[in-house]
Chain A
Amino acid sequence: MSQHPPQSIPASMIVEALRVEGVRTVVTVPDTHQRTVLELLATDAGIRLITCATEDEATAVAAGLWIGGDEPALLIQHAGLYASVNTLRGVAIDGQIPMFYLIGLLSREPDRVPRDSQRSMVRYCEPLLDVFSVPYALLEGPEDVAQIGELFRRSRAKRGPAAALIGMPTA
């Protein structure tokens, strides 16, 4: 654990970080952890919100958006990452499509780092990203929001996936 307990990040800070990077569309399968971000995006005139039935679809929709000249980001939860691993591989890695993920760590215990979680859905997220060499950062509070821009730009520069893990429910 870091010196400070994890804190909630205001949704407005996350949306503003996306806006600064030029994100025009967020593609989602709704995530409980980032509920307030979704609420804000639903009323935001500047960023389009597209809801998909599965994370496989969301990844491919984001790919089509990028090929078509848009700047998309994905908003999902860790279970959705597990469900869409083959599409992550085929689209973002082998397909060389920039793919920036906001991934909520639903059920993460605030007194444990995710890798030590007693819940497998939390514990396996970072190791899975490591297997696929996906760059990521764990956002543990408002001071970490700058990581969103850094990871977004990295996904574009390397034409592949990058992920920001949202450690606590957003405010």
Chain B
Amino acid sequence: MPIQPLAALRAIAELRAAAIVVPTMTAVEPWHRLSPEGITVPCIGFMGGASSLGLGLALAQPQRKVIVLDGDGSLCMQLGVLATNAGAAAPNLYHVVLKNRVYQVSGSQPIPAADRIDFAAMARGAGYAAVYAFDDLEDLRVRLPEALAATGPVFIELTTEEMPDPPKGGVIAASFPAEAAAARAALGPSS
């Protein structure tokens, strides 16, 4: 049974600690509400770029975990990231994909191969260090601590329902440049 996406985000928020989080698309606004503290860098304005943004942050800040909250439609736009992320082998990168099988912001049109696509298998084939897939909230709650403690890059596929109250008109109420600048100021020089 698909996971309610807000419950999934709440479970991640409870375990984020000092992690930098990179949400995108429908996850941005609820993530800000659920986890207003800590460093968040939303991927807005370049759909498909979330895990690449997260990879750069993970490489620059190796002492911090970086959790990417990607979408399945977004990942489809840049599937090459699976090879790039595996190749870069950042041990602190956690690539979460919320798989609701639709482009929700534009009207919930199905993504390509919506009924059969298996991102976890792709990530495993690309060479991620660890891969998890969850379609049950209780299972996620039990095993998420293990997934977020594993050596990255870790891929976590979450089969979810659609996000409630998606951004109206596709306009996401957050600012990439403002939050990026704030994050750089907070993080300081790369170690």
Contact = CB atoms under 8 A, between A and B. Distances in A.
Interface of A: 24-25, 27, 48, 50-54, 56-70, 72, 86-87, 89-91, 94-97
Contacts of A90: 45-46, 49, 176
Contact of A24 (B53, B57, B190): B190
B80 A64 contact: no
24 contacts: A25-B59, A51-B87, A56-B46, A56-B52, A57-B49, A59-B49, A60-B49, A61-B52, A64-B52, A67-B53, A67-B184, A67-B187, A68-B20, A68-B61, A68-B183, A68-B187, A69-B60, A70-B59, A70-B190, A72-B56, A90-B46, A94-B45, A95-B177, A96-B180
Interface of B: 20, 22, 41, 43, 45-46, 48-49, 52-61, 78, 80-81, 83-84, 87-88, 176-177, 180-181, 183-184, 187-191
B60 A63 contact: no
Nearest to B182: A67
A66 B87 contact: no
B56 A64 contact: yes
Given A67-B187, A97-B180, 13 more contacts: A25-B59, A27-B56, A51-B84, A54-B78, A58-B52, A60-B52, A63-B180, A64-B41, A65-B56, A66-B184, A69-B184, A86-B46, A91-B45
Contacts, number: 126
A72 B57 CA distance: 12
A57 B78 contact: yes
A52 B78 CA distance: 11
B49 A91 contact: yes
Nearest to A72: B56
Given A52-B84, A54-B80, A67-B184, A60 B60 contact: no
B59 A65 contact: yes
A60 B55 CA distance: 9
A76 to B, nearest CB: 14
Given A90-B46, A91-B46, A70 B60 contact: yes
Given A62-B56, A63-B180, A68-B61, A87 B49 contact: yes
B46 A57 contact: no
A59 B81 CA distance: 12
A64 to B, nearest CB: 2
B177 A64 contact: no
Given A68-B61, A94-B177, A95-B45, A57 B190 contact: no
A51 B22 CA distance: 21
Contact of B60 (A67, A95, A97): A67
